[in-house]
C-alpha cells in the first residue's frame, strides 16, 4: 500500500467541502463521535440532511463564516491506498494557501459547477496546477443532479476544458461527472448517469499510477546533519544524514559534494541498524564516503555523472505570500532544501493575471501575485529545474525582518 | 519527491526522520516532549532512527501532572535508562506549590489545563527554541490545520490566522528571541498508522494500552480509572472492568474503553472497527466545538 497526496481546487459554492466530506463519509472514515458532533451542529442542508462540509471547516472563524481559510489536511484509507487530502480555499485571496496545498500534491481535483461550466476560477486553478507541476488532474464536474444528469452538459464542459488544458500543457486529465451532495460517482458508480462509462472518483484515485510525478533518475541528497558520535569505539565515524530527494544512491557510486565540488565514493549506506545496498528517492538514510572531505549541513550530495545546475543568478516563478509587498531593494533569505543564503529579487520580468493568463510588466509584487523574476543569491545554489525535479527545483523566501515565509520559488532557468 | 516505491509506513517514517533532522539542523536548543504515550514513544524510536549511532541532539522533557498512571512512569524510567538520553521533568505539582497555578476543585477537577503553565515555564527555564511533539492532524479538526513547524509567540500562543505557508518539504524554523516552535513530525500519521508502526517495529508500550482488570467509575458517560486523583463521592459506583486506554494522559481526564484486546493485533483489529475516535475518550476536548483550538491558542501542546 502506498500514499496518494491530492489537493482539491474549487470554491465553497462548487461544493468542494461537500465533496471531501462525501469521500470521508462514504468510505466510513467518519467516526461515531465526530458524526454525533456533526449532527448536533445547527448547519443542515435544505433537505435536512447533514452538511458534510462541516467536516473540513476546522477553525472557529471558518465555521462562523462558512468558508475555508486555510489548508486543512484530511486522511482516509481504503484497502488499496492511504490518502492525504490538502483541502484548500478556492477564492482568489487565498491563492497562496492553494499554492501551499498544491506543493506536496501528486494529483489535483479541479471542481467545476455543472451549472456554470468553465469560469474564471477554473482557469486560475488550472494555471496553479500547471505552475506547481502536478501531473495528474481530475476534472470533477459537480452538481450534475441539478442539471438532470445531462450528458450534453458534461460533454460541453469537457470540450471547453480540453482547450484550456492544451493551452496550459496539462496532459493527464480525467473527467468525471459527479454529485457530491447526492453521492453520484464519488465512491459508488452513479445509477443516474448510464451514459458515463468511466470510473467513480474514488476508484480512479485508488488505482491512478502516480509514478509519473518526478520521474527524474538524477540522484540528489541534501545533507541535513552530520553524525559524529566521537565515542571511543566510533572515533572515526562520520555519516551524512539526509533524505534522498530523487534518483538512487548505491554503494560504490561516485558522488560529488556541492558547492565544494569534491568527489568521493560511497563506502556504506546505513539506515538505523541496517546496512543498505542502495537508497531510493524518499528514504532518509546515512551515507558514508571513502574519503574524508569537508561536508556540512546545506551541502548536497549528487551523483557525479549527473550534476545539477550551479548558479547565483536564477530565473524563477514567484508566488508572493505576504501582506507586505516584495521590496526589490532589500535582502531576503532563500531556503533551498537544507541550504539557506541571502538573496535579492533583481528584476521582475513579468506578472501573470491568473484569471486571464495574460502576462504584463510590473513594478510591484503583492500578496497572491504570481510572475517571473530573477533571483540573485549570495552563495551559488545547486539545483535542477522545477519541471524536471520538483524537490530540487523549489525554494522559499524568508523576510529576515519578520521571519515569515513570504514567497514560493520555482526555478525555471539559470541566467548565467 | 517520487516516493512511490516506498510502503506507506516507510514513507511516513522517512518524512518524520527528515523533520527531526531539520530540527537538529535549524535550532540551538530543541527538546522532545515525552508524555509516555504511544505517540511520543513512536517519536523516540524515530529519533533513534534519525540520529543513531550518535546521541539525540535534544533531551526528553516530561511535563508531569503528578496524576500519572504508575505504569507510565515506570515505562518512562526504564526507557530513558535503556536509550541513555537525558530526561528533564517539569512538575505541575511544583507549579501549584509555587502558586503559579491553582488546583481545580469539584467533581471534574483535572490538572490537564494546568500543564500549559508548567510547560511554558519549563521552556523558559531551559531556553528551548523548539519542542517536538507527537500531535497528529487526524486527532482533531484544529490540529488538521496546524503546520509541522508551528510558531508560538513568547506567551506560547498559537495564532491560526498567522501561520506561515509550509511548502514542499521545506520547513522555515526562523524565529525571534523568545518565540519557539512546536514541531510535529508525525502530523501526517493516523492513529492506525501509529499502531501499525508500533507492531512492525515491535516497540514496547506501557501495559495500560492493553486490556487489564481495573476499578473504574462512570463519569459523564465515560469510564474513568478509580484513583485518588478523582474527586469521588458516594454517588460514584466503583466497578471492576476489563479495560484498556487509547491515549495516555492525566489520570483525571483519560477515559478507558472496555476491551478484551490484550495483544497488539487485537488492538489494531479493534481500532479498525471502532466507531469512536481516539480523542473521543478525552474529556478535555468535550468542552466545546472549539475546545482544542482555544487550548492551542493558549499554549497547550
Q: What is the pLDDT of residues A36-46, one digit of tens each?
A: 666 666 666 66
- Same domain for A276 and A335, yes or no, is no
- Same domain for B26 and B166, yes or no, is yes
Find cell 524518499 and name the residue: A282
Cβ-proximal residues to A285 (8 Å cutoff; 6+ apart), any chain: A221, A241, A242, A243, A244, A249, A269, A270, A271, A276, A279
Is pLDDT above 50 for B2?
Answer: no
More confident residue, B92 or A267: A267
Q: What is the pLDDT of residue B97?
A: 82
- Selecting from B14, B52, B141 the residue whose C-beta is nearest the C-beta of A282 gives B14
Q: What is the mean pLDDT of residues A248-264?
A: 96
- Same domain for A48 and A174, yes or no, is yes
Query: Which of chain A's residues have a Cβ under 8 Å away from the Cβ of B175?
Result: 403
Task: Using the Cα atoms of residue A323, residue A325, residue A331 and residue A334 in order, give the sign of their dihedral.
Answer: positive
More confident residue, A71 or A175: A175
Question: Is B155 near chain A, with CB under 8 Å?
Answer: no
Q: Whole-angstrom Cα distance, residue B272 to residue B285?
A: 22
Q: Pick the residue from chain A with its C-alpha nearest to B16.
A: A284
Task: Report yes or no on B17 lying in a domain.
Answer: yes
Cβ-proximal residues to B81 (8 Å cutoff; 6+ apart), any chain: none
**Could you count the other beta carbons within 10 Å of the beta carbon of residue A48?**
6
Q: How close is the nearest chain B Cα to the Cα of A337, in Å?
A: 6
Instruction: Tell me which of A61, A82, A210, A246 to substitute to probe the interface with B (most B C-beta atoms closer than 10 Å).
Output: A82
Record the cell numbers describing residue A283, joined without a space: 528514504
- Same domain for A89 and A176, yes or no, is yes
- Selecting from A69, A214, A229 the residue whose C-beta is nearest the C-beta of B1 gives A214
Q: What is the pLDDT of residue B5?
A: 59
- Same domain for B160 and B227, yes or no, is no
Record the cell numbers describing residue B279, joined without a space: 480523542
Is pLDDT above 80 for A266?
Answer: yes
Residue where one domain finishes, among candidates A254, A273, A303: A303
What pLDDT, in 10s, does the model give residues B183-230? 999 999 998 899 999 999 999 999 999 999 988 888 878 888 888 777
Total residue length of chain B: 301
Question: Is B86 near chain A, with CB under 8 Å?
Answer: no
Residue A15 Ramachandran class (φ > 0 left, ψ -120 to 50 alpha, else beta): left
Task: Using the Cα atoms of residue B136, residue B137, residue B143 and residue B149 in order, give the sign of their dihedral.
Answer: positive
Find cell 511554558 and name the residue: B120
- Same domain for A7 and A142, yes or no, is yes
Q: Do A395 and B170 touch (CB under 8 A)?
A: yes
For every residue of A77-144, DSSP letters joined together read: E-SSEEEEEEE---SGGGHHHHHHHHHT-SEEEEEEETTT-S-HHHHHHHHHHHHTT--EEEEEEE-G
- Same domain for B142 and B84, yes or no, is yes
Residue where one domain finishes, among candidates A274, A303, A332: A303
More confident residue, B278 or B67: B67
Q: What is the pLDDT of residue B167?
A: 95
Is pLDDT above 80 for A183?
Answer: yes
- Same domain for A93 and A227, yes or no, is no
Percent of chain A with pLDDT over 90: 71
Q: How close is the nearest chain B Cα to the Cα of A147, in Å?
A: 33
Task: Report yes or no on B80 lying in a domain.
Answer: yes
Q: What is the pLDDT of residue A245?
A: 94
A241 and A226 in contact (C-beta within 8 Å)? yes
Average pLDDT, chain B: 85
- Same domain for B233 and B184, yes or no, is no
Is pLDDT above 80 for B137?
Answer: yes
Question: Is A59 near chain B, with CB under 8 Å?
Answer: yes
Q: What is the pLDDT of residue A74?
A: 86
Identify the weakest region by mean pLDDT among A223-227, A256-260, A328-332, B115-119.
Answer: B115-119
Q: Pick the residue from chain A with its C-alpha nearest to B8.
A: A2
Cβ-proximal residues to B73 (8 Å cutoff; 6+ apart), any chain: B36
- Same domain for B130 and B21, yes or no, is yes
Q: Do B164 and A404 touch (CB under 8 A)?
A: yes
Residue ranges making up the domain that contains B239: 207-284
Q: Do A2 and B6 touch (CB under 8 A)?
A: yes
pLDDT band at residue B1 using 50, 70 and 90 as cut-offs: very low
Residue where one domain finishes, among candidates A303, A320, A335: A303
Q: Whole-angstrom Cα distance, residue A317 to residue A103?
A: 13
Q: Is the peptide bond before A21 cis (omega within 30 degrees of 0)?
A: no
- Same domain for B95 and B235, yes or no, is no
- Same domain for B246 and B279, yes or no, is yes
Question: Is A37 near chain B, with CB under 8 Å?
Answer: yes
Q: Whole-angstrom Cα distance, residue A125 to residue A119?
A: 10
Q: What is the pLDDT of residue B98?
A: 83
- Same domain for A290 and A349, yes or no, is no
For every residue of chain B, DSSP letters joined together read: ---TTS-HHHHHHHHHHHHHHHHHHH-SSEEEE--SSHHHHHHHHHHHHHHTTS--SS-EEEEE-S---HHHHHHHHHHHHHHT--EEEEEHHHHHHTTSS----STT--STTTHHHHHHHHHHHHT-SEEE----TTS-TTGGG--SEEEE-TT----GGGPPP--TT-------TT-EEEE-TTTT--HHHHHHHHHHHT----GGGS-EEEEEEEETTEEEE--TTS---TTPPPEEEEEEESS---TTTBEEEE----SHHHHHHHHHH--S-GGGGBGGG-S-TTHHHHHHHTT--
- Selecting from A214, A280, A297 the residue whose C-beta is nearest the C-beta of B5 gives A280
Chain Cα centroid distance, residue A379: 27
- Name the nearest CA neighbour of A37 among A52, A27, A48: A52
- Same domain for A243 and A317, yes or no, is no
- Same domain for B84 and B214, yes or no, is no
- Same domain for A270 and A196, yes or no, is no
Q: What is the pLDDT of residue B29?
A: 96
- Name the nearest CA neighbour of A105 among A28, A210, A198: A210
Residue ranges making up the domain that contains A71: 2-212
Task: Report yes or no on B200 lying in a domain.
Answer: no
Question: Is A42 near chain B, with CB under 8 Å?
Answer: no
- Same domain for A190 and A287, yes or no, is no
Query: Which of chain A's residues have a Cβ under 8 Å away from the Cβ of B295?
Result: none
- Same domain for A199 and A267, yes or no, is no
Question: Is A405 near chain B, with CB under 8 Å?
Answer: yes
Task: Report yes or no on B226 lying in a domain.
Answer: yes
Question: Is B173 near chain A, with CB under 8 Å?
Answer: no
Is pLDDT above 70 for B299?
Answer: no
Q: What is the pLDDT of residue B118?
A: 86
B43 and B70 in contact (C-beta within 8 Å)? no
Q: How close is the nearest chain B Cα to the Cα of A334, in Å?
A: 10
Domain count, chain B: 2
Cβ-proximal residues to A89 (8 Å cutoff; 6+ apart), any chain: A11, A67, A68, A69, A70, A97, A98
Q: Do B170 and A396 touch (CB under 8 A)?
A: yes
Q: How close is the nearest chain B Cα to the Cα of A211, in Å?
A: 6
Q: How close is the nearest chain A Cα to the Cα of B146, in Å?
A: 8
Task: Report yes or no on B144 lying in a domain.
Answer: yes
- Tell me, what CATH number does A150's domain have? 3.40.50.300
Domain count, chain A: 3
- What backbone phi and psi angles, to 5 degrees, belong to B135? -70, 150
- Same domain for B215 and B131, yes or no, is no
- Selecting from B12, B25, B142 the residue whose C-beta is nearest the C-beta of A225 gives B25
- Same domain for A256 and A198, yes or no, is no
- Same domain for B22 and B108, yes or no, is yes
A132 and A9 in contact (C-beta within 8 Å)? no
- Same domain for A335 and A188, yes or no, is no
Burial of B125 (0-12, 13-18, 19+ CB in 10 A): exposed
- Tell me, what CATH number does A243's domain have? 2.40.30.10
- Same domain for B212 and B187, yes or no, is no
Orientation of helix B8-26 relative to helix B38-51, angle to 10° = 70
Q: What is the mean pLDDT of residues A404-410?
A: 97
Query: Which of chain B's residues have a Cβ under 8 Å away from the Cβ of A271?
Result: 49
- Same domain for B174 and B256, yes or no, is no
Question: Is B53 near chain A, with CB under 8 Å?
Answer: yes
Burial of A212 (0-12, 13-18, 19+ CB in 10 A): middle
Query: Which of chain B's residues have a Cβ under 8 Å away from the Cβ of A56?
Result: 141, 144
- Tell me, what CATH number does B103's domain have? 3.40.50.620
Task: Report yes or no on B148 lying in a domain.
Answer: yes
Task: Report yes or no on B263 lying in a domain.
Answer: yes
Instruction: Tell me which of A229, A282, A333, A407 to substitute to probe the interface with B (most B C-beta atoms closer than 10 Å).
Output: A282
| Whole-Å CA distances, A162 to A113, A137, A139, A166, A175 | 16, 12, 10, 6, 10
Amino acid at each position: 500500500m502506498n500514499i496518494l497526496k491530492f489537493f482539491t481546487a474549487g470554491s465553497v459554492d462548487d461544493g468542494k467541502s461537500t465533496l471531501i466530506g462525501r469521500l470521508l463519509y462514504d468510505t466510513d472514515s467518519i467516526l461515531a463521535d465526530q458524526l454525533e458532533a456533526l449532527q448536533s451542529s445547527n448547519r443542515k442542508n435544505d433537505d435536512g440532511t447533514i452538511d458534510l462540509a462541516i467536516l473540513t471547516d476546522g477553525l472557529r472563524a471558518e465555521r462562523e463564516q462558512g468558508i475555508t481559510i486555510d489548508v486543512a489536511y484530511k486522511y482516509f484509507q481504503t484497502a488499496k491506498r492511504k490518502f492525504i487530502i490538502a483541502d484548500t480555499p478556492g477564492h482568489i485571496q487565498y491563492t497562496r494557501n492553494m499554492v501551499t496545498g498544491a506543493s506536496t500534491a501528486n494529483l489535483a481535483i479541479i471542481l467545476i459547477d455543472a451549472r456554470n461550466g468553465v469560469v474564471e476560477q477554473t482557469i486560475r486553478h488550472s494555471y496553479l496546477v500547471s505552475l506547481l507541476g502536478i501531473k495528474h488532474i481530475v476534472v470533477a464536474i459537480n452538481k450534475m443532479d441539478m442539471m438532470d444528469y445531462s450528458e450534453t452538459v458534461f460533454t460541453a464542459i469537457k470540450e471547453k476544458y480540453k482547450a484550456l488544458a492544451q493551452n496550459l500543457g496539462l496532459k493527464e486529465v480525467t473527467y468525471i461527472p459527479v454529485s457530491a451532495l447526492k453521492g453520484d460517482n464519488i465512491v459508488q458508480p452513479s445509477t443516474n448517469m448510464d451514459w458515463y462509462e468511466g470510473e467513480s472518483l474514488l476508484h480512479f484515485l485508488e488505482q491512478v499510477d502516480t509514478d509519473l510525478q518526478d520521474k527524474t533518475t538524477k540522484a540528489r541528497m541534501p545533507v541535513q546533519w552530520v553524525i559524529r558520535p566521537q565515542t571511543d569505539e566510533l572515533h572515526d565515524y562520520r555519516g551524512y544524514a539526509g533524505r534522498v530527494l530523487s534518483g538512487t544512491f548505491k554503494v560504490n557510486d561516485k558522488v560529488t559534494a556541492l558547492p565544494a565540488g569534491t568527489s568521493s565514493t560511497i563506502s556504506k549506506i546505513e539506515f538505523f541498524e541496517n546496512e543498505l545496498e542502495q537508497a531510493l528517492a524518499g528514504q532518509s538514510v546515512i551515507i558514508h564516503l571513502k574519503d574524508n572531505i569537508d561536508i556540512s549541513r546545506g551541502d548536497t550530495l549528487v551523483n557525479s555523472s549527473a550534476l545539477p545546475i550551479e548558479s547565483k543568478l536564477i530565473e524563477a516563478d514567484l508566488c508572493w505570500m505576504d501582506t507586505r509587498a516584495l521590496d526589490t531593494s532589500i535582502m531576503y533569505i532563500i531556503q533551498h532544501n537544507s541550504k539557506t543564503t541571502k538573496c535579492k529579487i533583481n528584476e521582475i520580468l513579468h506578472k501573470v493575471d491568473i484569471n486571464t493568463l495574460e502576462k504584463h510588466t510590473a513594478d510591484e509584487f503583492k500578496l497572491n501575485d504570481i510572475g517571473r523574476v530573477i533571483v540573485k543569491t549570495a552563495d551559488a545554489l545547486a539545483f535542477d529545474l522545477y519541471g524536471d525535479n520538483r524537490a530540487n527545483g523549489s525554494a522559499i523566501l524568508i523576510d529576515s525582518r519578520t521571519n515569515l515565509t513570504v514567497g514560493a520559488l520555482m526555478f525555471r532557468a539559470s541566467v548565467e | 519527491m517520487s516516493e512511490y516505491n516506498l510502503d506507506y509506513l516507510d514513507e511516513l517514517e522517512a518524512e518524520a526522520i527528515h523533520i527531526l533532522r531539520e530540527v537538529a539542523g535549524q535550532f540551538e536548543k530543541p527538546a522532545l516532549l515525552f508524555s509516555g504515550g504511544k505517540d511520543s514513544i513512536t517519536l523516540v524510536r524515530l529519533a533513534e532512527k534519525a540520529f543513531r549511532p550518535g546521541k539525540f541532539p535534544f533531551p526528553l522533557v516530561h511535563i508531569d501532572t503528578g496524576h500519572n498512571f504508575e505504569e507510565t512512569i515506570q515505562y518512562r524510567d526504564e526507557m530513558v535508562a535503556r536509550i541513555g538520553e537525558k530526561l528533564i521533568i517539569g512538575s505541575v505539582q511544583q507549579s501549584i506549590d509555587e502558586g503559579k497555578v491553582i488546583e481545580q476543585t469539584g467533581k471534574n477537577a483535572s490538572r490537564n489545563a494546568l500543564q500549559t503553565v508548567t510547560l511554558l515555564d519549563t521552556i523558559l527555564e531551559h531556553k528551548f527554541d523548539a519542542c517536538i511533539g507527537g500531535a497528529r492532524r487526524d486527532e482533531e479538526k484544529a490540529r488538521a490545520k496546524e503546520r509541522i513547524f508551528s510558531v508560538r509567540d513568547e506567551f506560547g500562543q498559537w495564532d491560526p490566522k498567522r501561520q506561515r505557508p509550509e511548502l514542499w518539504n521545506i520547513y522555515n524554523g526562523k524565529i525571534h528571541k523568545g518565540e519557539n516552535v512546536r514541531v510535529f513530525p508525525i502530523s501526517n500519521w493516523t492513529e492506525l498508522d501509529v499502531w501499525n508502526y508500533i507492531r512492525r517495529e515491535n516497540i514496547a508500550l506501557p501495559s495500560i494500552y492493553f486490556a487489564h482488570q481495573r476499578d473504574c467509575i462512570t463519569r459523564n458517560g465515560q469510564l474513568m480509572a478509580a484513583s485518588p486523583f478523582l474527586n469521588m463521592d458516594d454517588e460514584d459506583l466503583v466497578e471492576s472492568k476489563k479495560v484498556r486506554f487509547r491515549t495516555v494522559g492525566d489520570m483525571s481526564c483519560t477515559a478507558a474503553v472496555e476491551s478484551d484486546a490484550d495483544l497488539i493485533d487485537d488492538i489494531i483489529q479493534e481500532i479498525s472497527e471502532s466507531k469512536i475516535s481516539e480523542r473521543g475518550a478525552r474529556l478535555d476536548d468535550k468542552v466545546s466545538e472549539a475546545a482544542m483550538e482555544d487550548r492551542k491558542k493558549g499554549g497547550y501542546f
